């Protein structure tokens, strides 16, 4: 018989360290809804319970940073009705979960091109970010209107501005200098990237930061993703041999 999630977690703890930073491409809401002959927005709504699950699971497992890809810059090109439904859900999610996030000790950060959000969505995220800023148990990075190439372009512009003003010597630019201009400036790089729905691609997520992340791709569609799946990914992670280009003794 399969162990329950708590037994799995105990086994994970026994075996060793959990990843410090887990990033997730939450994919498959549309297909989940289509399989039920329901509109795509129904899938997005159902995906919210999976978000709650992984946040609780991450807190219980002692993960320090959880990064969730919620909406990409490319996703703005979807039909207006779907974009609108997603923005509404964001406002609803924040309104409903803010108390619990604050109570659990979650520090919410929102990363991306926030200037494009609807005023209601922008206000909602600003509020939860401010409210949870003192928390330190889990840093929750919500990537909204995010694209990794755009993030790198912004970092390049910032560095170019500093160099042009004479504040920065171009020869002094290092990997650390670049990292420090990204949205994720004070986060460690993800150790583990999970993508649901079986797609084997990065879709413009954290291109710089994922350089040495372990990839875990599951066919499970996002609304069906639970703690059990999260802990399964952690177990798999613990079996990986991270060599960083070197050889193991």
Nearer to ligand IPE, 31 or 131 (CB): 31
Distance in angstroms (rounded) separating the CA atoms of residues 216 and 24: 9
Out of 4, 7, 27, 150, the active site residue is 27
Is position 197 an interface residue for ligand IPE (rule: CB under 6 A)?
A: yes
Nearer to Mg ion, 193 or 234 (CB): 193
Distance in angstroms (rounded) separating the CA atoms of residues 134 and 40: 36
Out of 75, 113, 189, 204, the active site residue is 75
CB of 146 to ligand IPE, least distance (A): 8
The stretch among 27-35, 79-87, 92-100, 104-112 that binds Mg ion (CB under 5 A) is 27-35
Nearer to ligand IPE, 226 or 238 (CB): 226
What DSSP designation does 90 have? H
The answer to whether the CB of 194 falls within 8 A of the CB of 23 is: yes
Distance in angstroms (rounded) separating the CA atoms of residues 104 and 99: 9
Residue among 81, 144, 92 at smallest CA distance from 115: 144
Whether 191 is catalytic is no
Distance in angstroms (rounded) separating the CA atoms of residues 237 and 141: 21
Q: Which residues contact 131 (CB under 8 A, 6 or more apart)?
A: 98, 102
Is position 71 an interface residue for ligand IPE (rule: CB under 6 A)?
A: yes
How many other CB atoms are there within 10 angstroms of residue 36's CB atom?
11
Residue among 8, 33, 21, 5 at smallest CA distance from 221: 33
Binding Mg ion (rule: CB under 5 A), the pick from 21, 27, 51, 121 is 27
CB of 32 to Mg ion, least distance (A): 10
Q: Which does 203 bind (CB under 5 to 8 A by kind): Mg ion, ligand IPE, none?
A: ligand IPE
Is position 30 an interface residue for ligand IPE (rule: CB under 6 A)?
A: yes
Binding site for Mg ion (CB under 5 A): 27
List residues near ligand IPE by CB under 6 A.
25-31, 69-72, 75, 86, 197, 199, 201, 203, 222
């Amino acid at each position: 018989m399969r162990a329950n999630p708590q037994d799995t977690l105990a086994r994970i703890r026994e075996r060793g360290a959990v990843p410090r930073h887990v990033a997730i491409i939450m994919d498959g809401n549309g297909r989940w809804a289509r399989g039920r002959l329901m509109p795509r927005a129904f899938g997005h709504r159902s995906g919210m319970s999976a978000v709650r699950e992984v946040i609780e699971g991450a807190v219980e497992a002692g993960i320090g940073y959880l990064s969730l890809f919620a909406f990409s810059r490319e996703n703005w090109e979807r039909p207006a009705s779907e974009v609108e439904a997603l923005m509404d859900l964001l406002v609803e999610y924040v309104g409903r979960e803010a108390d619990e996030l604050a109570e659990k000790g979650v520090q919410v950060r929102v990363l991306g091109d926030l200037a494009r959000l609807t005023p209601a969505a922008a206000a909602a995220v600003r509020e939860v970010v401010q409210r949870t800023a003192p928390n330190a148990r889990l840093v929750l990075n919500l990537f909204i209107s995010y694209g990794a190439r755009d993030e790198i372009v912004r970092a390049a512009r910032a560095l170019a501005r500093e160099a042009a003003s004479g504040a920065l010597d171009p020869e002094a630019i290092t990997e650390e200098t670049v990292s420090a201009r990204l949205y994720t400036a004070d986060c460690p790089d993800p150790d583990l990237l999970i993508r649901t729905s079986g797609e084997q691609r990065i879709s413009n997520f954290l291109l710089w930061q994922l350089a040495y992340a372990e990839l875990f791709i599951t066919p499970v569609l996002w609304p069906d993703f639970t703690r059990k799946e999260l802990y399964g990914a952690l177990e798999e992670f613990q079996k990986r041999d991270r060599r960083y280009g070197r050889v193991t003794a």
